[in-house]
Amino acid sequence: MTEPTPTAAELDPEDAKLITLARSSRARNATAEGAAVRDETGRTYVATTVDLPSLKLSALQAAVAAAVSSGAEVLEAAVVVGAATELSPADAAVTRDLKTATVVLSGPDGTPASITRA
C-alpha cells in the first residue's frame, strides 16, 4: 500500500537514517543509486550500484545481497536514493523475497518520493 509521501521530518527516524546512509554511500562512490536496508534485528547494510563488465547489480540488490550473506531473512525497511520514481521489477521482487515491511524511494537530495508499506 503506497501512502502519501511524508516529508523527511515526518519519516520514521530509523528510516531517515537509512536515507542518510544511502545518500552518503552514493556520494562517496559517485554512483547513480545508493541503497540501505535494515534487517529484522536492526542491523543495516549499505551499497551502491555495481556496474562491472561481468556483474551488474542495482544498489538495492547489492545491499540485499550483503544482508542475506550476513544471515538476514526479513527486512524491516529498504531505502533507494536516486532518480527512480518506482522500483524496477527485479528490485520489487527482491523486496518481496525478504518480506520487506517498508520501502522508501528518495531523490538525490534525500527528499522522500514515495513510501510503500506491506
33-47 mean pLDDT: 97
Strands (E), 1-118: 2-3, 34-39, 44-48, 50-51, 56-57, 75-81, 102-106, 112-117
Which band of pLDDT confidence, cut at 50, 70 and 90, is reported for residue 117?
confident
pLDDT of residue 11: 84
Domain holding 67: CATH number? Answer: 3.40.140.10
Q: Which residues pair with 117 in a beta bridge?
A: 102
Q: Which residues pair with 34 in a beta bridge?
A: 48, 81
Domain of 78 in residue numbering reads as 2-117
Number of domains into which the chain is organized: 1
The yes-or-no verdict on residue 9 having pLDDT over 70 is no
- Reported as a single tens digit per residue, the pLDDT across 63-102 is 999 999 999 999 999 999 999 889 999 999 999 999 999 9
Which band of pLDDT confidence, cut at 50, 70 and 90, is reported for residue 3?
low
